[in-house]
Structure 1
Amino acid sequence: MQKALPIIIFLLSLSGCWNYDTKDTSTGEVEIIDGHTLPPDPGEAGKETLLGIDSNNDGVRDDLERYIYHRFNGYEHAAKERAIALQYGRAVQEILVDPEHAWENKTFESMHKSGSCKFYYTKKYKPENIAYKIYDADFKDRAFNTDVRVDAYFKYQESLGGHTFTAGSSTLDKCDVDIDQLDE
């Protein structure tokens, strides 16, 4: 056990190295990124319910919003990618509300629209890397970060089984905001 303790301590110290939420907001300090005031970190309280906490009522859970603003910051096209990620975050919230009736309630359309916006961006700004991922495994791990949310996502997927979808268009109008005007 004495040999394992230093290794455990070392591994625990590394666990924070890939965390995009590096700022401690427990002091009540206001954090602003690109002119946007971030909501406070909800901590574990944000995982207590299916929909989590959305203190600023923007349609994105506070923990996911904070992650998005920290991750998509400080590089070319960051604002564009952030807008797409926020649109996906709102779509995630919509499908979690009533995942068993995604087809009947047409909540799947917000997820589809988000994907079309991302594909529009990828074709226009990343043509050399058409498989470019904005909401990759890390992002999805953050979006579906509790067992209840993962279960709801599976129910959402199951509710769409057997239905036919059209490919739709990957045009700017699928984006909630005009991403072409961002990062200018």
Structure 2
Amino acid sequence: MRRPFLAALLTTTLLVPAFAAPPLPEWREGDGYLIGVAVQYQGQTYRALQSHTAQKGANWNPASTPALWQLHHGPVQRCSPWQAGYSYQLGDQIRHEGDYYRARQAHTAHAGTEWQPPRVPALWQPIAQCDAVTPVPPGNTDTINGIKVPPDPGAAGRKTLAGIDADNDGVRDDVQRFLAQEVGKHPARFKYAMEMARITQQEILSAGGNDRERVRTLTNQWSLALDCFYDTYKNPTEDYEWRLNFSKKVAALHANTSDRMNAIKNSDAMASGMMFRSPIRYQCD
């Protein structure tokens, strides 16, 4: 089982074709897609809500899987009413029965699930008003390599398994600051490193549930983000030693308390013996 970056650092190969992909590629069964990637399918544009591989025979085409794909129709209008059946992106702001909410993660409010914002705090964060885009007060941020990041959580960030995520982007503040310092000068590299950190945080928080299929899904998503991270380098050996040390630091940071280390060990144990499929090719945003 991999820990962030280590296993794939030793075995990675570049899987993207030598030719340049079109701006909006056609969706293909068997391909891997990173969250946010846009594709064409049956003449319409869709955007990936989750990193995933379109497994052969699963019929996971964009039109048939609203949990994975959103028909692209522009951003949600600020403070529009919450709607069942609508696909929401991270950060979307809506109103519901006189209260206001911000989406904690991308999701589709499938009809019949009763996923109204007050019922699912894992998906929706109450906010004072729609103008309150971020819970981090203005001025209470630092700038590292041109990236605005939350303040250093210090010892308080190690008191709980989840730690502190002041801007609710799914990445612990101490991890976000580290990534901004290490790879913040390269926007694409930072983006994919953040996606891997976001998935690793989900692994840590869900490890106690003993859900092996969720572990499989998260591992596949993490691997896609890793592939896209590698694609920011010219070849597999570029900065190899630096990347190896970077991976060790990231792994140590994610597991910097005994509870987090135990959660990672539990996740690794659940993944032991599983079969994982590699996509035929993958699309990076």
TM-score (norm 1): 0.67
Look up the match of 1:115: 223
Structure 1 residue 170: Cα displacement: 5.1
Look up the match of 1:92: 200
Q: 1:60 to 1:169 in 2, by over 3 A?
A: farther
Look up the match of 2:279: 168
Question: 1:55 aligned to 2:192?
Answer: no
Structure 1 residue 34: Cα displacement: 5.3
Q: Which has the higher strand share?
A: 2
Name stretches of at least 5 consecutive residues in structure 2 with no aligned partner: 1-138
Look up the match of 1:103: 212
Look up the match of 2:259: 148
Contact 1:84/1:114 (8 A) holds in 2: no
Q: 1:94 to 1:69 in 2, by over 3 A?
A: same
1:100-155 deviations in Å (ceiling 9; x for gaps): 42423x24423322222322442563325179437510111111111111110000
Identity of aligned residues (%): 26
Contact 1:84/1:117 (8 A) holds in 2: yes
Mapped partners of 2:164, 2:173: distance in 1: 6
Contact 1:122/1:130 (8 A) holds in 2: no
Mapped partners of 1:170, 1:148: distance in 2: 36
Mapped partners of 2:181, 2:211: distance in 1: 30
Name stretches of at least 5 consecutive residues in structure 1 with no aligned partner: 1-27, 179-184
Look up the match of 2:129: none
Matched AA of 1:62 = D
Structure 1 residue 82: Cα displacement: 0.9
Aligned residues: 143
SS at match of 1:81: helix
Matched AA of 2:184 = N
Instruction: Calculate the aligned-residue CA RMSD, in Å.
Output: 2.5
Q: Which has the higher helix share?
A: 1
